[in-house]
Amino acid sequence: MASEEIDDSLYSRQRYVLGDSAMKRMAQSSVLLCGVGGLGIEIAKNIVLAGVKSLTIQDDKNASIEDLGTQFFLHEADINKNRAEASSHHLSELNPYVSIKTLTQKLDEKTDLSYLKQYQCIILTESPLNVQLKVNRYCRSQKPQIQFISSDVFGILGQVFCDFGDEFEVMDHNGEEPKEVFVANITQGSPGIVSTLDNKVHGFENDDTVVFKEVKGMDCLNGHQFKIKVESPCTFSIGETSLLDEYKGGGIASQVKISKHFKFESLEEQLKNPALLHPDLCKLDAPATCHLTYYTLQTFIQKENRYPNVWSVEDSEKFENLAQELNQQLTSPVDCINRQLLRSICFTSQGCLPPLCATLGGFVAQEALKALTGKFTPLNQWLYLDAIEVIPQDPPSPQSFHKKGDRYDLFRICVGEEKVKELANTKLFMVGCGAIGCEMLKNYALMGISCGEQGKITITDNDLIEKSNLNRQFLFRPRHIRMPKSTTAAKAVLEINPGLKIAAQQHKVCPQTEDSIYNDAFFESQDVIVNALDNVEARRYMDARCVTNKKPLLESGTMGTKGHVQVIVPHVTESYGSQRDPPDEDFPYCTVKSFPATIEHCIQWARDKFEQVFVQKPQMFNKFWATNGDIEKVIKKLSNDEALEGSVKVSKSAYTKPTTWLQCVEQARIKFEKYFNHKAKQLLHSFPLDTLLSDGSPFWQSPKRPPTPIIFDADNPLHMLYIQSAARLLADVNGISWTPTDVDVTSIKNLLANVKVPQFIPSSKRIETDESASKGQEDSVISGNEEQETIQRFSKILHNNSNIQVSVITADQKPIEFEKDDDKNSHIDYIAAAANPCCFDRDTLTYTMWDKWEVYGNKDFTLQNFLDHFKAKYSLEPSMVVHGAKMIFAPIMPGHMKRKSHTMVKLLKPNNHTKYMDLILAFTNENDEDDDLEGPPVRYYFNL
CA distance 736 to 659: 7
Task: Decide if 801 contacts 577 (C-beta within 8 A).
Answer: no
CA distance 8 to 15: 9
Integer angstrom CA distances of residue 538 from 485, 518, 544, 550: 18, 14, 10, 18
Geometric angle at alpha carbon 143, from 142 and 144, rounded to 5°: 110
Task: Decide if 413 contacts 155 (C-beta within 8 A).
Answer: yes
CA-based radius of gyration for the chain: 33
CA distance 587 to 198: 14
Pairing of strands 168-170, 260-262: antiparallel
Pairing of strands 30-34, 54-58: parallel
CA distance 156 to 355: 10
CA distance 793 to 272: 84
Asked if 357 is an active-site residue, the reply is: no
Which residues are within 8 A (CB) of 284 and not within 5 positions of it... i.e. 6 or more apart? 278
DSSP secondary structure, 436-466, as one string: HHHHHHHHHHHHTTT-SSS-EEEEE---B--
Interior/surface letters 738-757, b for 16+ CB within 10 angstroms, e for the rest: eeeebbeeebbeebbeebee
Task: Decide if 370 contacts 52 (C-beta within 8 A).
Answer: no
CA distance 453 to 299: 43
Catalytic residue, chosen from 139, 290, 590, 664, is 590
| Secondary structure in 3-state letters for 588-623 | CHHHHHHCCCCHHHHHHHHHHHHHHHHHHHHHHHHH
CA distance 38 to 354: 7
Pairing of strands 209-216, 121-125: unpaired
Q: How many CB atoms lie within 10 A of CB 645?
A: 12
CA distance 492 to 931: 53
CA distance 890 to 545: 26
Q: Which of 566, 574, 563, 568 minimizes the C-alpha distance to 552?
A: 568
The secondary element (H helix, E strand) that includes residue 889 is strand 886-889
The secondary element (H helix, E strand) that includes residue 150 is strand 147-154
Contacts 24+ apart (CB under 8 A), 86-92: 87/36, 87/41, 87/44, 87/57, 88/57, 91/44, 91/45, 91/48, 91/55, 91/57
Integer angstrom CA distances of residue 915 from 329, 529, 851, 940: 70, 24, 20, 9
Task: Decide if 531 contacts 553 (C-beta within 8 A).
Answer: yes
Distance of CA 240 to the CA centre of its chain: 43
Q: Which of 44, 70, 40 minimizes the C-alpha distance to 497?
A: 70
Q: Which of 1, 936, 13 minimizes the C-alpha distance to 472?
A: 13
Q: How many CB atoms lie within 10 A of CB 494?
A: 15
CA distance 503 to 490: 7
Task: Decide if 238 contacts 192 (C-beta within 8 A).
Answer: yes
CA distance 379 to 160: 9
Query: Residues with catalytic annotation?
Result: 590
